Amino acid sequence: MKNFDMIFIHPPRNFEYMKKNIKTRSSYMIMPMGIFGLADLLDREGYATKIINYIIERIIDPNYSIIKFLKKINVKVIGVDLHWVLHSAGSLELLRVIKKYFPSCFTILGGFTATYYAKEIMEKYNWVDGIIKGDAEEPILKLMKNLNSLDKVPNLIYRENGKIIDNKITYVIRELNSLNFSNLKLMEHWNSYLNYIYDVMHMAWPVEMARGCMYNCVNCGGCNYSSQVISKRKFYILRRPERVVDDLRNIMEMSDVKGIFYGHGVYPKTEKYFLKINELIRKEKLDIHADLEIWRMPISKEFIKDFAKTYIIDKSLLWFSVRSFSQYYRKKYTEYFGKIDNAFNFSDKDLKNLMNLTKKYNVKLRLFWDVGNPYETGLDLFVNFLKAFKLMVENISKKSKVAMWSEPINLSPGCLVEMFSDVFGVKKHMKNLSDYVEAGKKSKMFLPPLDVSVNYSTNYLTKTGINLANKLMLLIDLISVIMD
């Protein structure tokens, strides 16, 4: 039997509806990029390591059994990621089954959600032996060296003789340049993974480039304040452009996938950073297309022009989160919360200027919008719909490469709205991880947003009203994308 020190397993969203939605985005086939960095780090330190994407294995072989696979090997530690809260049901169920058949194996969770709900998980789910909270690079190495003396492992919360012991978060990574996020061969059927996320899910390869954020988008569990609360991260860091391009080159040399999704956004302070990445891509003559989010305006003409000459332009996309097309609502939001979150602090003129620039350089633009924001009224929604419809008609008539897209807001654990719901005029319908787990088991998510429900209501909008509005938005989304 082959011996492994560590097996990373990426779980499905849930097991109840996995077969029916296994090839959709809602299966959560895409993995957190940090897993590849951790696996490569262990591998370089001499630990036998492998990554399993459970969903991919079931696509390749519908009769695949993780238990049968594990019975053929010896493994000391099994880690399952619990980063996104919407796959909490799948993560916990997968570990429960594994622990049932392999009681002597040390089982751990990691990721934002696991960190935020660490105490609840350890109290309620006794098949979880430990959770690495926050950044896991140093802790995972120390765990492998100290399986018999867990008190030496930073960031670890674990169970010993029935007692929960929390080592607290004392490690926060300060650089990413020594890490490698493109050692795909540590993953079982890595080529199938690349092909499925690209061809089936229409998602470009996500490249790791940062930890933390300088902004406080109130619905994001990875914002600056939330990172401080969850991971004790008080600063954000960027990988050197050269290291980002190293990963891109490695991926392209290994596979036929020619697309990337940048894991950090462009805004005034990161324009020079991305311009350097673009320069290196052109220097190495990497023929690639890119998806990149604009996190704050203004974005310069020089940057849009540079983006257009760097990437395969007919397949590349810039995304901008408008949130609401109602300038009146954006001003109201900024008046209430602008000192915390300035994401809404732009005018219709600013938006038009962005659209004109992308049109001038033939760059496709996607405008992300949503409903159910703090203090958003029914009238605000009506204006939002009218403005979106008008913009759609104008873009179609002008043959502009601009489309809209939306998805229901789900409050991320640890985001500002979730932590301070009263301040934002929001009523949470899920108050702990157990609520998310039960909801996750029942959620089909075959065709979001038609069969997806939000997890909150506001002082002005009911849960039913927000869900209905999300369904109505889908019509504009589809028309704008089809006609783009």
Instruction: Compute the mean pLDDT over every residue in the chain, rounded to the nearest whole number.
Output: 94
Whether residue 102 lies inside any domain: the answer is: yes
Residues 119, 24: one domain? yes
Residue 120 tokens, joined: 């609840």
Mean pLDDT, range 362-366, rounded to an integer:
96
Domain termination residue (choose one: 166, 191, 224): 166
Residues 432, 330: one domain? yes
Residues 137, 214: one domain? no
Residues 76, 209: one domain? no
Whether residue 49 lies inside any domain: the answer is: yes
* Helices 327-337 & 378-398 angle (0-180, nearest 10): 130
Residues 9, 115: one domain? yes
Whether residue 285 lies inside any domain: the answer is: yes
Q: Between β-strands 156-160 and 130-132, what pairing exists: parallel, antiparallel or unpaired? A: antiparallel
CATH assignment of the domain containing 118? 3.40.50.2300
The residue with tokens 């012991």 is 165
Residues 462, 316: one domain? yes
Residues 352, 272: one domain? yes
pTM over 0.75: yes
So what's the pLDDT on residue 440? 87
Torsional class of 469: left (φ above 0), alpha (ψ -120 to 50), beta (otherwise): alpha
With a pLDDT cut of 90, the percent of the chain lying above it is 82
For 223-241, write each residue's pLDDT tens digit.
999 999 999 999 999 999 9
Residues 215, 127: one domain? no
Domain termination residue (choose one: 114, 140, 166): 166
Residues 401, 264: one domain? yes
DSSP 8-state code for residue 22: T
Residues 215, 283: one domain? yes
So what's the pLDDT on residue 443? 79
Residue 105 belongs to domain spanning: 2-166
Residues 80, 229: one domain? no
Domain termination residue (choose one: 146, 166, 186): 166
Inter-CA distances, 250 with 31, 88, 190, 255, Å: 18, 32, 13, 9
Residues 157, 243: one domain? no
Whether residue 219 lies inside any domain: the answer is: yes
> Would you say residue 24 has pLDDT above 90?
no
Residue ranges of E strands in 311-455: 317-323, 364-369, 402-405, 426-428
Residue 11 tokens, joined: 């779980």
Whether residue 231 lies inside any domain: the answer is: yes
Whether residue 271 lies inside any domain: the answer is: yes
For 399-422, write each residue's pLDDT tens digit.
888 999 998 898 889 999 999 999
CA distance 344 to 233: 25
So what's the pLDDT on residue 18? 82
CA angle, residues 146, 97, 115, in degrees to nearest 5: 50
Whether residue 226 lies inside any domain: the answer is: yes
Number of folded domains in the chain?
Answer: 2
For 109-138, write each residue's pLDDT tens digit.
999 999 999 999 999 999 999 999 999 999
Whether residue 470 lies inside any domain: the answer is: yes
CATH assignment of the domain containing 381? 3.20.20
Torsional class of 168: left (φ above 0), alpha (ψ -120 to 50), beta (otherwise): left
